[in-house]
Structure 1
């Protein structure tokens, strides 16, 4: 693998967009909670949609991908 940008971006986004780590949307008691380290099924779904949108933004729109 010649270009490490794609796996590093994907891993960083996965880590930072884990529900409850930096933020949780929707939260258990409020629509947006910060660093509560808890999760719900709805927040997992919302964070996975956000993760997919950011991956699409970086890899397709900004052309950060593997050059093989």
Structure 2
């Protein structure tokens, strides 16, 4: 059996946490901006940290497995 949890969770988090796609932390004019499709190096760094923390949470701490 194959475990697809890492692939699915990693892909979904990457898609949803792309800076500017759904939200951007920090924004250009406000702390949080939604759907602005612009980015900065600070927001890329912050979204990378959030991505890594959520990936560790789902895959290591919660030990989520998806078998197909």
Deviation at 1:5, TM superposition (A): 1.4
Give the structure 2 partner of residue 39 of structure 1: 39
Aligned positions, number? 67
Give the structure 1 partner of residue 18 of structure 2: 18
Q: Which stretches of structure 1, 4 residues or more, deviate above 2 A after TM superposition? A: 64-67
TM (normalized to structure 1)? 0.90
Task: Give, in whole Å, the separation in 2 of the partners of 1:19 and 1:44.
Answer: 6
Deviation at 1:12, TM superposition (A): 0.4
Task: Give, in whole Å, the separation in 2 of the partners of 1:45 and 1:55.
Answer: 15
Deviation string, structure 1 residues 1-26 (Cα, Å, up to 9, x no partner): 70111101000000100000000000
- Report the aligned-residue RMSD: 1.7
User: Which moves more between the two structures, 12-21 or 57-66?
Assistant: 57-66
Deviation string, structure 1 residues 9-68 (Cα, Å, up to 9, x no partner): 00000010000000000001111000100000000000000000000100111012588x
Unaligned runs of 5+ in 1: none
